[in-house]
Amino acid sequence: MKSTQRRSPRAIRSALTSALKISLSLSLMFSLPALAQSEVGRPGSQTAQGRVGLSPAQTVFDQVNQLLQSSYGGLSTVDRAALNREYQARLDAVCAPTPTNCAEEKAYPVIEAEITALDDEHTFFQNPEDFQEFVASATGGNRRQFGVKLALLDGQQRVVLEVVPNSVAAAAGLLRGDVLTSIDGQPYTYDALRAAREAGRPIELGVSTRGVERVVNVTSQESSTRDLPRLTYVSSSGGTEDVAVLRIPTFISGGGVAQGVHDLVGQARARGVRGIIVDLRGNGGGSLQECDGAVSAFVPSFTRVARSAEGNSRTLVSRGARVEAGRTSGIVTNPQLWTGPLSVLVDQGSASCSEFFAFEIQNAARGPILGERTAGVGNTATRVFPIGEEAALQLTILNYAKPDGTPYPTRLTPDIPDEQGESTIRLLTEGQDELLNLGIGALDGAPVLSQDRVQPGSP
């Protein structure tokens, strides 16, 4: 349910600068200062735009290849210099009719093909539309939306998986598990819903809630992409709601995720719940800092090593603070630590930083992970570098390991596997969340932190 509007290069760069953060692929790292320091694509540089006579296409191609040569820190063994030569020849052929004024867009498919040949699924080229969407998500910006996330059933994205608080969908009373059946009296299609959203056209939306039909009136609106953690309570035995479900939809919300997790854990503790379930399904990742802070509400302390061509660096995270290069920085105020039973839900949409979160829980034997194998981008760090006027390159610059040299896994394998297919979605339309029920049951055998394990290395 996405829509973008054109933003000027200056506005995009301003948004990125104001939102500077470090993140994993296991997240997304983006930095204008990093770009400026390397002088890639900056006036006055001896490269890219600073070289007189280069076409716009050649300029962006050179920017990308300089970054591949100087800043790449991933695990690909492909000869990057050879790639440069091969795809330079392809660009020359594309630009042969107008070599001195070949348009920037002419280089995009060549760059995309080169990045694909690099064979690093964490590194990719973002065209202007993709980059603008990234900026909106990463900075908590606005886009036209209904505020609902949908799942596939009977060939269409029609089942409500999630309703964003304070959104159009929330105001209309849409609920998780609802099935969208019609638009303006016609059979529902996702294409029709998307067209109405993009146009901002009011529609009558037919909805089935556990077999009960109703019609709601909705109109998409420009609203914030911020989607912060939230807490609900469920019953483990049909009586009192004694289990907290902590939903973390993303770690990219322009800040506030880690603080929200700690605050909500504090609320759950005050309520006296017997267990917490962390729901990371569909969480595509985000800021490493936010992720670190969130994990520290459940794991007393943990350490990782970042490995790059320039050497290794170590980070200790404990009780909402990080120690890097001897410097301590606080992530949250009034940090909490949940010591009771815990389980974590993941699926194929759990990616990057959510994979990191789940791995730290699993590595610390803090609680079982349930669901599907995750997306498979959980062991490296990337940075997003603006390219040319409006495009960008997401580039792997680091990979991660534990202090003993054990690398972070590319993807996480759950302790309790449970495939999430169409049958699972159909059960959801009947009010049954199969994986959530398994998570509740897993709390019975989940470990509890003893006092000696609660004493972390103090940052």
Query: What structural domains does the chain harbor?
Result: 9-138 (no CATH), 144-224 (2.30.42.10), 230-379+395-454 (3.90.226.10)
- The CA–CA distances, whole Å, from 444 to 236, 241, 270, 439 equal 10, 15, 21, 9
The arrangement of strands across the sheet holding 243-247 comes to 230-234, 243-247, 275-279, 342-346, 369-371, 416-417
Predicted local confidence at residue 27, as pLDDT: 37
Query: Any residues with CB less than 8 A from the CB of 141 and at least 6 apart, and which?
Result: 15, 135, 224, 225, 254
247 forms bridges with which residues in the sheet? 230, 279
318 forms bridges with which residues in the sheet? 301, 321
365 forms bridges with which residues in the sheet? none
Count Cβ atoms below 10 Å from residue 217 Cβ, excluding itself.
Answer: 10
Regions in the chain scoring below 70 on pLDDT: 1-52, 136-141, 253-254, 451-459
Strand pairing report for 243-247 and 275-279: parallel
Predicted local confidence at residue 140, as pLDDT: 57
Predicted local confidence at residue 325, as pLDDT: 83
Tens digit of each residue's pLDDT (9 = 90 or more) over 45-88 = 334 444 557 999 999 999 999 999 988 988 889 999 999 999 99
The Cα 52–Cα 54 span in angstroms is 6
Count Cβ atoms below 10 Å from residue 37 Cβ, excluding itself.
Answer: 10
The Cα 299–Cα 279 span in angstroms is 16
- Extract the tokens encoding 118: 């690099």
The Cα 91–Cα 101 span in angstroms is 13
| 3 state DSSP class of 5 | coil
Predicted local confidence at residue 352, as pLDDT: 87
Predicted local confidence at residue 455, as pLDDT: 52
Burial 51-90 (b: 16+ CB within 10 A, else e): eeebbbbbbbbbbbbbbbeebbbbebeeeeeebbeebbeb
For CA atoms 397, 290, 434, 442, the dihedral sign is positive
323 forms bridges with which residues in the sheet? 316, 328
Task: Select from 184, 210, 268 the least CA-distant residue to 234.
Answer: 268
The Cα 171–Cα 99 span in angstroms is 55
Q: Is the pTM of this model over 0.85?
A: no
